[in-house]
Amino acid sequence: MNIDLSGRHALVTGSSQGIGLAIATALARAGASVIVNGRGPDRTEAARTRILDEVPGASVRAVAADLSSAVGAGILREKVPELDILVNNLGIFEAKPVLEIDDDDWRRYFEVNVLSAIRLIRMYLPGMMQQGFGRVMNIASDSAVVTPLEMVHYGTTKTALLAVTRGYAKAAAGTGVTVNSVMAGPTHTPGVEDFVRDLVGSELPWEEAQHRFMLEHRPHSLLQRLIEPAEIGNMVVYLASDQASATTGGAVRVDGGYIDSILP
């Protein structure tokens, strides 16, 4: 399948590293003009440079803005008034016993993982609907349906994103705009490496630590390995394309078969 996103303008939030950076790189490789985003200008500019190293000649901008707040979203809107493709990837996670998650934790997780996406959809969806084309993708997680005991607050916010996605897909019905969730499974990023080592021990060689983590904490994975960020990027590129025009309101899985269900 030859996917060409030339002429499309895409924003990937939280794209200075990890899954977000991989998604931004994949979109740039497919020809989209990409905006990378992070809180600080140094990291976002470094991400832009990394993409250009991998995709010479790509159109890439770096826009620093803290999208966990309405103020940050406003700063972004001033610099990026219109979009064709919006990828809400920004998110935080940590392991914490559920009875120790206090009100401030819950508020922070909803601000970053849920409200940041809602704000941007409200900002950009009307313009997409008016022009008759748009792609909105919210990066969710297997944790949306398989609530992890070690981070219930994270899982709950990802569950909320599935409902947000379905609701806005209904609002965009018949306009040529699609809104989908991408349910990523356990993915190999620097943050996840730290998370894995916190759970299974920092003294183990990485391959052994990864194997033990999957065996003890993610035993239902059919891949039996962590997913590489580029594999998430491949799904986003497809959903951003004209070829995915009939896929909307869905929770599309890139979970390595971790969710033990025959339905999405």
Q: What's the rounded Cα separation, in Å, for the pair 161 and 78?
A: 25
CA 127 to centroid of chain Cα atoms: 22
According to CATH, the superfamily of the domain at 9-186+228-254 is NAD(P)-binding Rossmann-like Domain (3.40.50.720)
Residue 131's φ and ψ, nearest 5 degrees, are: -85, -10
Give 49-64 pLDDT, tens digit per residue. Answer: 999 999 999 999 999 9
Catalytic residue among 154, 168, 238, 258: 154
Q: Residue 195: what pLDDT?
A: 85
Which helix H or strand E contains 62, and what residues bound it? Answer: strand 60-64
Number of helical H runs and strand E runs in the chain:
9, 7
Closest CA to 155 of 109, 119, 192, 215: 109
Which helix H or strand E contains 24, and what residues bound it? Answer: helix 18-29
This prediction's pTM: 0.95
Contacts of 123 (CB under 8 A, 6+ apart): 73, 77
Residue 154: active-site member: yes
Give 176-210 pLDDT, tens digit per residue. Answer: 999 999 999 999 988 889 989 999 998 999 999 99
Ranges of the chain with pLDDT below 50: none
Q: What's the rounded Cα separation, in Å, for the pair 62 and 79?
A: 10
Q: What's the rounded Cα separation, in Å, for the pair 61 and 33?
A: 8
Ranges of each domain in the chain: 9-186+228-254, 188-226
Q: Residue 190: what pLDDT?
A: 87
Q: Residue 168: what pLDDT?
A: 98
